[in-house]
Structure 1
């Protein structure tokens, strides 16, 4: 009997979790040193050698924040270019990204669309069966192997590959000769694995640099203490050229529209445009970078979509402002974006007043959840016209045990958290206590599911003309659950 997509997701969720790996590495960082040799061995087991990856003409992207958005811009530009080619063209673009929001197949895309359930199951079990009764790779490594196998099988000609965590020891870093690499904005994250300083983190991210490929990074990274020296040092040691990217004039002056909201996306879009130009210069130099091509690039930037990043959804008298920010800088950027959305909403003629809500979670304790909540409060307080009325804290559990849906989507099972802490709502109670200290007048509640949290907002009665505006942030897994509640 054929094995289904549901069978594939169920099997995937049995693999050793990211949480277990992070804990093991925190106790013994030297385990990292085996990461790439182990991935090469796994790749051989699947039936390939690393040289096969060069057939994919890879664009490899690392960074603390913005790497997913940059990958989305690059993918959108290439797909816009693909649509300009004759219908008979077999030009295929692959995108591998993480984490997923609603469906795990979102991580592996071809020509701008997630794999179908049928193709996901096909390539999943082709990879799975290669290991037989042997121990399978852990969750993220397995998906990386599967993505590469999928792209080669589908004869993808361009693969945009986003690092999962770090760079040097990231499972994607078995690509021997990418066409171009990029390191997006740097910040403090995953300190247990990458270090507690920008220079330490920069060294990990710079591990994707290869002699075969120029590397591009935003000029803003020069302002991060120690980052510039480390990136330049690594570039010189591997024999590649490092280019600092400034914001493109058309973006800075708003002549090119951004498909992703937030002024900070101008930096990511500029890096994406530079990446694309370099890729064509190396792989298709006969394609002129003329006015027609620049229009394709601009259209690709304008048509880019990346759910869960500065994403606004409307539901009756509720505006959901959703952003997966989960580091200090990305939380602050999310706060500034939310304040700009509030400012816009208050100018609408149909709106007499707003009532502001926060839905927040940060399940990874190493990120100092309470510190991120304080940073968000400090960012929002001087920018909002009034205080947040209700702050709601929830784990990443999507559905209530008593839900009429009566299911937990297997795609939404988080493999990056401590199950015991989730069950006891440890982080959520800490966050609630922190917010009460910050704002004693706010209504603060801890809920046990995202569905129940959304119910609080939906059931809150307000006068006619009052718009309920909700900021959802702190975790991409939280964002995925909210989108499932809104769209599922």
Structure 2
């Protein structure tokens, strides 16, 4: 059977809420010894783990671009790897969902892995999982339940769980030494949360989403997102979060003895119109602030650079402003490619048609997306403005569309 057919088979599996949220934590499945060893050996990936409601993918993309820029010797402001001159940072990036091809979710050095690499490791993981059996367990002490207890059954792993395990496997086999993992849903019970010793964690903006799984109250959602904090680790977030959200983060950090750094949002930086235009909106400025601090903490806590390079760590509140970032930071941020997020493009066939594409699907993100669109288009233009809008099942399409139309109609007529 081909890779495509097997992926479709995984996608078509009926997935219940409990399967996503409780049952299928990879480390709770009775895996074979070699897969358990893989999970225990994840530390050498030097992982940055990122959760949040919005901005996770962008923050991960910015972080990956910054890590790759650390390899550059063409920029005088880039720190030189003088401690380990023979070691090159090899990045791995795991995100979801994908835009066109599933390979986009698993990237090495800024590019999706090749079809050959994907197929090779896909079947290595598939065959391992297919060979695993576990025993059904039912409490009881009679002949019927005893037969059930001893009856072997195959281990089923859902689509996202399989791809998560595949990403771990690919990065280990390909000798990645700087990996960024984006949480799928939530954090505490997310399938990526088998990472035991991340170098640093980041939590982006918290809002209302996936309420059927995470709960309808923002403090419940914040609690799940904070679940990636680990004992004696360090986590970063931004001070633009609601106070009730920050209170949850502080409580979890205290319980887990995790150092929590709440970064300020510098007004001069946040109101930099040129920076906003280059990054694709004010929300991307926030994501970039978080990404820079995550990478600088990564530099501090890994052994790739000398002590002299640690001055590049910009995690101190007084230094988290745009004017102290060295040139290499801006170069990496502006070079970040993240399709489908604040994405403006034209096509060779129709150069006069401008497309503005974004994956916004919550009330908060639609407001930010609209703000970005209006700032990048002329309010007085006579050109028609056509809206193509779609939401996946389980979301309130009418309510979101009404909110979007209300935001835009005063500035641009929509066909």
The reply to whether TM is greater than 0.5 is yes
SS of the residue aligned with 2:360?
A: coil
Q: Distance in 1 between matches of 2:364 and 2:353?
A: 27
Q: Distance in 2 between matches of 1:190 and 1:329?
A: 14
User: What's the C-alpha RMSD, in Å, of the aligned pairs?
Assistant: 2.5
**Structure 2 equivalent of residue 356 of structure 1:** 385
Q: Does 1:372 align with 2:407?
A: no
C-alpha distance 178-60 of structure 1, shift in aligned 2 (>3 A): same
Q: Does 1:334 align with 2:369?
A: yes
- Tell me by how many angstroms 1:302 deviates: 1.7
2:5 pairs, out of 4, 10, 16, with: 10
Q: Is the 8 A contact 2:26 2:161 kept in 1?
A: no
Q: Distance in 2 between matches of 1:88 and 1:103?
A: 34
Q: Is the 8 A contact 1:40 1:50 kept in 2?
A: no
Listed as ranges, the matches of 1:386-465 within 5 Å are 387-389=413-415
C-alpha distance 249-155 of structure 1, shift in aligned 2 (>3 A): farther
Q: Deviations over 1:236-263 (max 9, x none)?
A: 1111111111235774353984653112
Q: Is the 8 A contact 1:186 1:221 kept in 2?
A: yes
Q: Does 1:141 align with 2:161?
A: yes
1:232 pairs, out of 230, 246, 250, with: 250
Q: Distance in 2 between matches of 1:369 and 1:255?
A: 32
Listed as ranges, the matches of 1:164-175 within 5 Å are 164-175=184-195
- Tell me by how many angstroms 1:358 deviates: 0.6
Q: Distance in 2 between matches of 1:37 and 1:111?
A: 26
- Tell me by how many angstroms 1:377 deviates: 1.4
Q: Distance in 1 between matches of 2:374 and 2:274?
A: 23
**Structure 2 equivalent of residue 81 of structure 1:** 70
Q: Distance in 1 between matches of 2:295 and 2:398?
A: 39
C-alpha distance 31-108 of structure 1, shift in aligned 2 (>3 A): closer
Structure 1's unaligned 5+ residue stretches are 347-351, 390-488
SS of the residue aligned with 1:299?
A: helix
Q: What is the TM-score of this pair, normalised by structure 1? A: 0.70
**Structure 2 equivalent of residue 155 of structure 1:** 175
SS of the residue aligned with 2:189?
A: coil
**Structure 1 equivalent of residue 355 of structure 2:** 320
Listed as ranges, the matches of 1:235-250 within 5 Å are 235-247=253-265
Q: Does 1:70 align with 2:59?
A: yes
Q: Distance in 2 between matches of 1:9 and 1:47?
A: 27
2:40 pairs, out of 33, 39, 51, with: 51
C-alpha distance 33-47 of structure 1, shift in aligned 2 (>3 A): closer
- Tell me by how many angstroms 1:50 deviates: 2.8
Q: Is the 8 A contact 2:24 2:161 kept in 1?
A: no
Structure 2's unaligned 5+ residue stretches are 74-79, 132-153, 313-323
1:295 pairs, out of 327, 336, 344, with: 327
- Tell me by how many angstroms 1:123 deviates: 0.9
C-alpha distance 282-96 of structure 1, shift in aligned 2 (>3 A): same
Q: Does 1:104 align with 2:123?
A: no
Q: Distance in 1 between matches of 2:128 and 2:65?
A: 33
Alignment coverage as a number of residue pairs = 367
Q: Is the 8 A contact 1:256 1:298 kept in 2?
A: no
Q: Does 1:186 align with 2:212?
A: no
SS of the residue aligned with 2:71?
A: helix
**Structure 1 equivalent of residue 144 of structure 2:** none
- Tell me by how many angstroms 1:304 deviates: 1.2
SS of the residue aligned with 1:76?
A: helix
Q: Distance in 2 between matches of 1:102 and 1:207?
A: 30
Q: Distance in 1 between matches of 2:155 and 2:205?
A: 36
Listed as ranges, the matches of 1:193-204 within 5 Å are 193-204=213-224
Q: Is the 8 A contact 2:232 2:256 kept in 1?
A: no
SS of the residue aligned with 2:356?
A: strand
Q: Deviations over 1:421-466 (max 9, x none)?
A: xxxxxxxxxxxxxxxxxxxxxxxxxxxxxxxxxxxxxxxxxxxxxx
Q: Does 1:269 align with 2:288?
A: yes
SS of the residue aligned with 2:240?
A: helix
Q: Distance in 2 between matches of 1:160 and 1:250?
A: 29
- Tell me by how many angstroms 1:265 deviates: 0.7
C-alpha distance 159-30 of structure 1, shift in aligned 2 (>3 A): closer
C-alpha distance 68-213 of structure 1, shift in aligned 2 (>3 A): same
Q: Is the 8 A contact 1:39 1:171 kept in 2?
A: no
SS of the residue aligned with 1:155?
A: coil
Q: Distance in 2 between matches of 1:221 and 1:44?
A: 42
Q: Distance in 2 between matches of 1:212 and 1:45?
A: 27
**Structure 1 equivalent of residue 122 of structure 2:** 124
